[in-house]
Amino acid sequence: MTVASELSYFASADGDLSYLDTGSGDLVVLLHSGYVDHRLFDDQIPALAEAGYRVIAPDTRGHGWSANASEPFRWADDLAGLLQHLDAGPAALVGVSMGGAIAGDTAIEYPELVRGVVLSGASVSDFQYTYEPTRKVVAASAEALDAGDIEGWLKVFLGSVAGPFRTTDEIDPRLLNHLREMALHTIAKHTPGEANWHVPMADTWPRVPTIDIPVLTVNGALDSPDLIAEAERFARTALSGRSVLVEGVSHFPNLERPEEFNGLLLDFLDGL
């Protein structure tokens, strides 16, 4: 498990952004989902480093050990700033949920920094939920956070891990505890009702057909149908994409089926 002393920090124009940097070889950047941090990839980081890759796993602004935003920002700009600061890349970007949207945005906005993209349960940052059960979960999450009801929010958040077709009783408690720990750490950095300074990219889909790098989507078959559909649309629309479904899991196949996820990921990376 990572401790703060093992992290490095990039002094962005709006505070320090933390990241784990380990291994050597071709660069892979792991981009976590919302409310958690780089530890989402505890099962991927050592596997990739042992396979001969340099792994950078950032904490997205406002998450983990990274500074909160105090002015408008875009995810892709933060990631590009980090890679340019490190004089690193082009990189293979691997993103889960929010992290997938960061990867998609960056491939569109900074193609020179990206040599391949893996998306899981995501597409781009201007995605809009259309599946009504998921829309209700998102609304309930926002309502609980605005009210400062952390326990209520955690219940909604952990329920989203199960997806719309299961309950948390069907999820490994160790996985839920891991997510709970990360989420509480990130939520503690924020106050109820504070401004959300993140600016989604606009008009992304007209530019997806210009993405001329390999794209892989790895979705849990039990995830929200709109998330699966949008990820698969991204793979179809890019010039070279394919999609894989992992049966029996939902929004976090990298957590629930790490060996299967790692195998798909390494096959993809070895082919770049």
CATH number for the domain spanning 222: value is 3.40.50.1820
Contacting residues for 186 by C-beta, under 8 A, at least 6 apart: 35, 36, 37, 62, 63, 64
The answer to whether residue 59 sits within a structural domain is yes
The answer to whether residue 137 sits within a structural domain is no
The answer to whether residue 158 sits within a structural domain is no
87-114 pLDDT, tens digit per residue, is 998 999 999 999 999 999 999 999 999 9
The answer to whether residue 174 sits within a structural domain is no
- Looking at the structure of the chain, the number of domains it has is 1
Rounded Cα–Cα distance for residues 167 and 154 (Å): 14
The answer to whether residue 192 sits within a structural domain is no
Expressed as residue numbers, the domain containing 22 is 4-128+199-270
| pTM (2 d.p.) | 0.97
Residue 247 tokens read as: 């049966």
The answer to whether residue 20 sits within a structural domain is yes
116-175 pLDDT, tens digit per residue, is 999 999 999 999 889 999 899 889 998 998 888 999 999 999 988 899 999 999 999 999
Statement: residue 1 has pLDDT above 70: no
Task: Tell me the Ramachandran region of residue 121: left when phi exceeds 0, alpha when psi lies from -120 to 50, beta otherwise.
Answer: left
Structural contact between residues 222 and 249, judged by C-beta atoms closer than 8 angstroms = yes
The answer to whether residue 64 sits within a structural domain is yes
CA 34 to each of CA 75, 88, 98, 154, 214: distance values in angstroms, whole numbers, following the listed order: 12, 25, 5, 13, 25
Q: Residue 3 — pLDDT band, cuts 50, 70, 90?
A: low
Query: What is the per-residue pLDDT for 25?
Result: 97
The answer to whether residue 145 sits within a structural domain is no
Is 35 buried (19+), middle (13-18) or exposed (0-12) by CB count in 10 A?
buried
Query: What is the per-residue pLDDT for 29?
Result: 98
Query: What is the per-residue pLDDT for 89?
Result: 83
Contacting residues for 192 by C-beta, under 8 A, at least 6 apart: 145, 146, 147, 148
Rounded Cα–Cα distance for residues 271 and 239 (Å): 16
